[in-house]
Structure 1
Amino acid sequence: MKPFIKEFKMNYQPPKRRFEKSGFVNPETAYYVPLENVTNTDNEDMKTMVDHGRYFSIFAPRQSGKTTFFMTFSMELEKDSNYIFILMSFEDCSNYSSHQFYTYLQEEIYEQLLHRLENIECYQKEEVKTFLNGHTLIDSASFFSLFKGLNNIITQKKIVIFIDEFDGIPVNEIENMLTTIRKLYQKYKKHTDKALYSVGLVGIRNITQLVVGGVSPFNIADHVEIPPFTLQNIRDLYQQYTQETNQPFTEEAVQQIYEQTQGQPWLVNRLGTILTKQIKPETIDPIEIDDVNKAIQHLLQEKNAHFDNLKEKVLLYKKTFNKINAEQVKFLPYDDAQSWLYQYGLIRKQNDLAVISNTIYSKCFSDVSDQMNHMTEQKKKIFISYCHKDKGWLGIIMNYLKGLEHEDIDIWFDKKIKTGEQWNPVIADAIQTSHMTICLISQDYLNSDFIRTKEVPGILNKQKEGMIVFPVLIRNCTWKVISWLKNLQMFPGDG
């Protein structure tokens, strides 16, 4: 007679943590895996670059886990009491005046600096506080003198500044800020003790944006990219859930998630939530490949802020996105449309080709062009391109055009940019969706770097698709020697 053996069966246990979708991932409340291979082209990790006092750019698409990475990195860095880590974001700064911008810089830098000095019980804290109380940030020169002064007080401390969403910096301050950072770098690059020890700029689409006057403190080799999850990262993430609940993911399911998401952190976490909360909740039955396919269909049909945000970005560059989605397109990092799509995490480089970042994005945004065409058929739009020094003329032109708005024609100029929106993509979208552009031509207009490098290329590209370009000469200038203008009929008459 066989002895009786009680069969042991694991029961489902409620999870103690969750799959996090955005913001800082606290390992105590959410499943977390550290990102791997965050290195530059010389295979140096970020800690090594900071230790060597490097100034570098960091590529990190939105919803890529960068917030968690930076917070984790700062905690690791500040185990050394000589480091002072300051993290700022220029995301909401694009519409700031210079005064507002430097006020924001002062608040962020001073608060984080003093808080860190308090935590490490720095004996020069009071001297630093006295210096800061007498030093107001009002322009790039005062930004330079801030660190020059700190360098005389806390030479043994190393201030590391990471600036997220650097593209959100006010347009009129880009050159000032980069020039000042370059001056600080050059002045102290041979010093082992320097206050502004290392700088990381996040949100730079390509390294040429960091070059001012032919010189840059940012080495191309030091460009760092925050990578997506690897297949092993995804295994480890889901295994944490399994250990808490006893519900496993089959290897085929994990591989399917990796293939469909290419490791995009938001997608991986969102699918984890859908699978465990809606497809197979509160059970130890394994999550299989069919469950993953159901979860993907659910994800594609749901409304969420992540997709809504990306859809807006696709609309800005729908022609380029659709071309990449439909055919083989060479990856061109300095192409404006591709570089924006790359920064938003919508495309990636595969060999020498630009490809949609993952299958889910390809499916989700494949019909955006049709939606946009329907929208633009409903209402015509006129884009007004002008220099801010000529805003008086804008008022005169608007007085003549005002009546057109009653005929369902939208008159668009930069005052319609909402607070918090980034200028570059919004203006690019306005040009892309316009049927006509009126250019208010003056010498200030021709001298504007922003108009020349940002607006005019978009206007000319849209002109090739049939948009009307109508230049209006408001003040005498050298327009006849400008290649894109000299072949256009100027109003009035021949200028």
Structure 2
Amino acid sequence: MRDYRIHTQHQEIITGGSAFNIKAESLRLDNLTESEVRNLWLQHTGETGQTFDDNIFVQLWEDTHGQPWLVNALAYELTWHNKHLRNRNVPITLEDYWQAKENLIQSRATHLDQLTDKLKEARVHSVISALLSGKVTGDTIPTDDVQYVVDLGLIESRPQLRISNRIYQEVIPRELTWTRQITIAHEQSWYLTPQRHIDMPKTLERFPAIFSGKCRCLDRTL
């Protein structure tokens, strides 16, 4: 809660809250530990008898690093959104977990949507962009900006500076390039059949010209 914001009637943003409030320090609620994540999910087993494949918990920790919303959202996706698994006699497999994770990412749920909004902030964007490009140094980004992004839970500073968990590592680059992704032309490539299989006769026919650099047909695939 280092930099909470207040919106005026005209949607202007006042950073830092009221000038009459005293903020002595930044406050951040810690993530769950690995054992707390496991015990939380096993409460479901204790109450319903439905079991989890033990291999799930290693992946769950890497995917969330204990981020409370992600831990609970994945559990809800598995045990309620998956209609098949509402039958508590059906054990939950690792394949079920992978599908739940993908569904959650694709849903762009509220938490992930808010994450996207944060990435629009210049100070957040600069830190994340530098981190993804491998250009994080004391000279490239201010220490206060790094601490702000740590406070938001988007990155970790120990044991090394990195994006906090595997889901964020997948979602953040997607969101930063989303506009580019949706504006890429989707024209059918010349070397594909209408069924989107490689058209081998056409490819082999044009190969000599492509190899010699005399054919510009590849330009249409860019």
Q: TM-score range, shorter-chain basis?
A: 0.5 to 0.7
Give the secondary-structure state (helix, strand or coil) at the position aligned to 2:86: coil
1:328-382 deviation per Cα after TM superposition (whole angstroms, max 9, x unaligned):
735899534323322221111122x32101110111121333346799xxxxxxx
The alignment covers a number of residue pairs equal to 172
Paired with 2:154 and 2:65, the residues of 1 have a C-alpha distance of: 12
- Give the corresponding residue for 2:154: 346
- Give the corresponding residue for 2:31: 228
Provide the alpha-carbon RMSD of the alignment. Answer: 3.2
Paired with 1:336 and 1:369, the residues of 2 have a C-alpha distance of: 22
User: Is residue 315 from structure 1 mapped to residue 123 from structure 2 by the alignment?
Assistant: no
Answer yes or no: is the 8 Å Cα contact 1:248–1:287 preserved in 2: yes
- Give the aligned residue type for 1:310: L
- Give the aligned residue type for 1:277: W
**Larger Cα Rg: Structure 1 or Structure 2?**
1
- Give the corresponding residue for 1:248: 51
- Give the corresponding residue for 1:298: 103
Answer yes or no: is the 8 Å Cα contact 1:342–1:348 preserved in 2: yes
Paired with 1:330 and 1:341, the residues of 2 have a C-alpha distance of: 15
Paired with 1:225 and 1:92, the residues of 2 have a C-alpha distance of: 16
Answer yes or no: is the 8 Å Cα contact 2:163–2:169 preserved in 1: yes
TM-score (norm 2): 0.65
1:383-422 deviation per Cα after TM superposition (whole angstroms, max 9, x unaligned):
xxxxxxxxxxxxxxxxxxxxxxxxxxxxxxxxxxxxxxxx
Answer yes or no: is the 8 Å Cα contact 2:5–2:16 preserved in 1: yes
Give the secondary-structure state (helix, strand or coil) at the position aligned to 1:329: coil
Paired with 1:246 and 1:374, the residues of 2 have a C-alpha distance of: 43
- Give the corresponding residue for 2:17: 169
- Give the aligned residue type for 2:80: K
Answer yes or no: is the 8 Å Cα contact 1:349–1:355 preserved in 2: yes
- Give the aligned residue type for 1:370: T
- Give the corresponding residue for 2:177: 370
Inter-CA distance 237–355: structure 2 relative to 1 (3 Å threshold): same
- Give the aligned residue type for 1:260: D
- Give the corresponding residue for 1:289: 94
User: Is residue 357 from structure 1 mapped to residue 164 from structure 2 by the alignment?
Assistant: yes
Inter-CA distance 363–335: structure 2 relative to 1 (3 Å threshold): same
**Structure 1: runs of 5 or more not aligned:** 1-58, 61-89, 97-166, 182-199, 205-223, 376-495
Give the secondary-structure state (helix, strand or coil) at the position aligned to 1:249: coil
Inter-CA distance 92–313: structure 2 relative to 1 (3 Å threshold): closer
- Give the aligned residue type for 1:249: F
**Structure 2: runs of 5 or more not aligned:** 10-14, 183-222
Answer yes or no: is the 8 Å Cα contact 2:32–2:66 preserved in 1: yes
Answer yes or no: is the 8 Å Cα contact 1:331–1:349 preserved in 2: no
1:31-55 deviation per Cα after TM superposition (whole angstroms, max 9, x unaligned):
xxxxxxxxxxxxxxxxxxxxxxxxx
* Identity percentage of aligned residues: 25
Matches within 5 A, 1:72-471: 91=4, 93=6, 95=8, 168-170=16-18, 173=19, 177-178=21-22, 201=25, 204=26, 225-279=28-82, 280-316=85-121, 317-327=124-134, 329=136, 335-351=143-159, 353-371=160-178
Paired with 2:72 and 2:145, the residues of 1 have a C-alpha distance of: 28
Give the secondary-structure state (helix, strand or coil) at the position aligned to 1:226: coil
Inter-CA distance 341–281: structure 2 relative to 1 (3 Å threshold): same
Q: Higher helix proportion, which one?
A: 2
Inter-CA distance 283–330: structure 2 relative to 1 (3 Å threshold): farther
Give the secondary-structure state (helix, strand or coil) at the position aligned to 1:251: coil
